[in-house]
Structure 1
Amino acid sequence: MESPDSEAEDGHSSIANLAANFCNQGRWEEAEELQVQVMETSMITLGEDHPFTLLNIANLASTYTNQGRWKETEQLEVLVMETRKTQLGVDHPDTLTSMANLAVTFWSQGLWAEAEQLQVQMMEKRKITLGKDHPDTLTSIANLAVTLWNQGRWEEAEKIEVQVMETRKTKLGADHPDTLTSIANLASTYWDQSRFEEAEHLFVQVVETSKTKLGEDHPSTLTSMTNLAFTWKSIGRNANAIALLRDCVAKQQRVIGPDHPETLAKSSALREWETAELNICA
């Protein structure tokens, strides 16, 4: 949270900080109550378009997001975005952040066209203000690719993902976490087109690099292992797929617990694969 720069802001910042603590603990209703209080008071004392007021509106929108209250989130994020456009300009970083937040909200509701429109705007603005190779610009481009991917527009998504991957390799290095994310995204796009050998090649690369750079038990490594296991299953390498997924499940049980939803989902898939393999051998 930004530091207060007036007595009025200072008077509300402690409440806002307490609300932030509640958010960090997942105590959404208590956080919401305080955020509404701070927002309404700052509207009166500072004005509806004051940066501190807008910050608190954005924080409340975030709390709604964490509760899946998309329409309420959307209403607040549109307010913040439009006000920042007027007050700060369409190219200001805070305005672009507001656009990014709203795009995610559209994305979460399956409003792909609306999300794509905002993401294209952000991407073009960041190319101009930050440069086409800036990390924030690359994030905007990558997010656009995800939106295209979710619409089944594989060729368009692939073209963008290759661009982001190659730029991140050059700017950040082949083993940077952002680069590995780009490689994994491209692999997923190949997988969804049934281009399993190409997907396998990239997933193997991500798994091995993640193990070295992040550790064998890191969540990103485990996700990559799971993706590779499913790829092997798709090309008929059942024994390899089962062994890898079994290893992944064992690590997840140790790291995040046996009752975590991700662990349960992977355990269920593993049981199905093992049962199918036994039936084949019988």
Structure 2
Amino acid sequence: MTKPAPGPDQPPIPVRLVTFNTHHGVGDDDRHDLPRLATLLASVDADVICLQEVDRYYGERSEDVDQALLLSRALDMQLAWGPAIDEQRAGTKAADAPRRQYGNALLSRLPILISDVHRLPGTGEPRSALRTMVELDGGALWITATHLTTRSAQERAAQVSTLAGLHTEPMDTGVLVGDFNTEPDAPELDALRQRFTDAWQLARARNDQAGWKFWQSDAGMTHPAGSPHRRIDQVWVSPGVTVAGAYVLDAEGASDHLPVVVDVEVRSGV
């Protein structure tokens, strides 16, 4: 049976999305506290949560636990995982032994239909992008989560070019989120701006809810958490996605970044 074309009266599908650099669960107090992080994330009531700097059996700094799995269980959400660092753990030889990993995690209360990991070019710390597609009631949303390099604008430009290439023409409804380690108007993000729009600027309502600097209530600053003056944690949307609201929340000491919450509206019938 042929699927009917979406009519003009079909409402868009609301999705609440969060992006948050978790600093491997270590807060301003230098304490690894995964329950604190889980409580903060649960309070947002998000449909999709994109996390950067997540550890899986990485070592003592995060108590050598599988943070991605523990958070997905605590929040009762599906998990997609995109390692940037993937190494054999010291002292392990078995092929099925857990590996030492670090990277991007996506938690979703919506069904995850597709999940793949793409290495990004560059030197120094490995970087990757986690691309997923989640199922909506009457549509679908592509979500690419990433964490760009701090090394140079040139390397970030090469990584952005790769990211833009992951979003093809049939992927009409998509978002690209993460820690870009540069401002949204930086020259190296030009390839991104040609295909996506900064959700913060597009939002019909926006606010910093951290609350300590009322004159920054519309600025979207996310780093450093204690005195934010950089908007490096961002959400970008394709033409099939509109933005009802964008908000920066207080991390409550859970990380050195602040989380960004975006309420998007996804075109139905795609």
TM-score (norm 1): 0.28
Ranked by relative contact order (alpha carbons within 8 Å, sequence separation 6 or more), the top structure is 2
Instruction: Return the index of the structure with the highest Cα Rg.
Output: 1
TM-score (norm 2): 0.29
